[in-house]
Structure formats: structure tokens, C-alpha cells
């Protein structure tokens, strides 16, 4: 078992800090201008208490912060892997690239959609909410309380639609995983690579002994 060195721990810490900064600044670069725009153009949003507006920003910034921090940490960990584990990862990456290149354009789109289904769902939900809110707020024949009630009804309906879509996609993904299930033999591949490394080391040592004795 390989223990992390002080340099590796420091590098991992630096990578996670970098990810935290990227996630925080990136999400703030989107949420702050969006909040300013909504506060300027949408009376219903402007009427919300500051605490609720701040909560909306936090609900976006916090996941971005956590995801990017974890992503940078994992990237650093993978960059330090060596030996059998690194060889197995490289082999899996080559297989994945080969599989991706063999797909048609429609299959690539479907594969990408299945791997990013929650991003697509959340993005579609946010876009539809923005469109619905814009349409509702432009209605000149309704008062502000009526517009808020109607916007809330749209939000409830869209949320239900998103949940249904997520359920359908999840069930489809589970069915595909069940149909294409395979046994994980990664541990066997790692052991095989380790045995090869040990054999190569023994071979080098065996070849080095006669040279040392003759000298």
C-alpha cells in the first residue's frame, strides 16, 4: 500500500483550493449579473426579500463550489497514479475513445445525453422557468399578486414534468445497464500488471548480476 507523501498532500490541497476558487468565482460570475438583471427587469423578483435572493445565489454557488473542488482533487489524484493502476486507466481510456469513435452521430448524441441527463434536465427546467416567467410578467391585464400565483403554478407544473423526465431517463439508463452488464475484472487487470512489473524487475536484476560479477 502506497502512502501519500507530504508533497502529494500539499499538491492535492492546492488543487482543491484552486477548484474551490474556480467554482465560486465562475458561479458568482453568472448568478450576480443574473440577480441584478432580474431585480432590474422583474418586479416580482424585486419584491422578494434580500434573504431569499441570497438563498438563490447560495443554492447555485454551493454545488458549483463542491463539484469543481472535487473535480480538481480527482484530477490531481489521477495525475499521481503510477504502475498497474495507471496502465489500467490508460487502457480503459483507449477503449472508451475507440468505442466513441465507432458510434454514429445519433448514437453519440444519445450517449452524451444519457451521461449528462441531469444537466440537460436542470438546464431545460431553468430555461422553461425563465421563459414562463417572462411571458407571465408581460401580461398587462393581471396584477402583480396574480402574476406571482400564475408563475408559481408554472413552476409546480414544470417541476413535476422535470421529475417525470428524470424518472424516465433513470429507468432507461438502468435498463441499458442491466442489458449490457458486465463483471468488473479491474482487480484482475491490476494484479496482472503488477506481476508483469515484478517479472521485469527480476529480469533486470538477473541480467545485472553477471555484469557485476565479471567486473
- Pair (129, 160) in one structural domain: yes
- Pair (168, 108) in one structural domain: yes
The burial class, CB within 10 Å (0-12 / 13-18 / 19+), for 169 is middle
pLDDT in tens, 133-173: 777 767 777 777 777 777 777 777 777 877 787 777 777 76
Q: Which domain holds residue 140?
A: 103-178
- Pair (110, 75) in one structural domain: no
- Pair (48, 108) in one structural domain: no
Residue 202 neighbours by CB distance under 10 Å: 10
For residue 77, which of 64, 90, 68, 86 has the smallest C-alpha distance? 86
pLDDT in tens, 68-98: 999 999 888 878 876 666 677 777 778 888 8
- Pair (109, 73) in one structural domain: no
- Pair (108, 138) in one structural domain: yes
Domains identified in the chain, total number: 2
- Say how many Å lie between the first and final Cα of the chain, rounded: 37
- Pair (142, 111) in one structural domain: yes
Residue 77 placed within a domain = yes
Residue 120 placed within a domain = yes
Residue 195 placed within a domain = no
Contacts of 56 (CB under 8 A, 6+ apart): 31, 35
pLDDT in tens, 105-144: 888 887 787 777 777 777 777 777 777 777 776 777 777 7
Residue 202 placed within a domain = no
Residue 137 placed within a domain = yes
Of 146, 163, 178, the last residue of a domain is 178
Q: What is the pTM of this model?
A: 0.52
Residue 215 placed within a domain = no
Residue 98 placed within a domain = no
- Pair (73, 121) in one structural domain: no
Residue 60 placed within a domain = yes
Residue in this structure with the C-alpha cell 458510434, named with its chain if needed:
103
Amino acid at each position: 500500500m502506497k502512502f501519500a507523501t507530504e508533497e502529494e498532500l500539499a499538491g492535492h490541497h492546492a488543487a482543491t483550493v484552486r477548484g474551490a476558487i474556480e467554482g465560486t468565482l465562475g458561479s458568482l460570475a453568472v448568478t450576480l449579473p443574473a440577480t441584478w438583471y432580474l431585480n432590474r427587469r422583474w418586479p416580482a423578483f424585486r419584491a422578494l426579500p434580500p434573504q431569499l435572493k441570497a438563498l438563490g445565489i447560495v443554492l447555485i454557488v454551493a454545488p458549483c463550489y463542491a463539484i469543481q473542488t472535487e473535480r480538481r482533487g480527482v484530477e490531481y489524484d489521477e495525475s499521481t497514479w503510477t504502475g498497474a493502476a495507471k496502465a489500467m486507466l490508460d487502457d480503459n481510456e483507449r477503449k472508451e475513445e475507440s468505442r466513441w469513435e465507432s458510434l454514429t452521430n445519433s448514437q453519440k448524441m444519445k450517449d452524451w445525453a444519457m451521461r449528462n441527463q441531469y444537466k440537460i434536465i436542470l438546464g431545460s427546467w431553468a430555461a422553461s422557468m425563465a421563459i414562463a416567467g417572462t411571458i407571465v410578467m408581460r401580461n398587462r391585464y393581471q396584477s402583480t399578486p396574480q402574476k406571482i400565483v400564475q408563475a408559481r403554478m408554472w413552476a409546480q407544473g414544470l417541476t413535476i414534468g422535470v421529475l417525470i423526465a428524470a424518472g424516465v431517463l433513470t429507468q432507461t439508463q438502468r435498463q441499458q445497464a442491466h442489458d449490457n452488464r458486465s463483471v468488473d475484472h479491474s482487480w484482475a487487470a491490476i494484479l496482472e500488471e503488477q506481476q508483469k512489473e515484478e517479472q521485469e524487475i527480476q529480469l533486470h536484476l538477473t541480467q545485472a548480476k553477471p555484469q557485476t560479477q565479471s567486473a
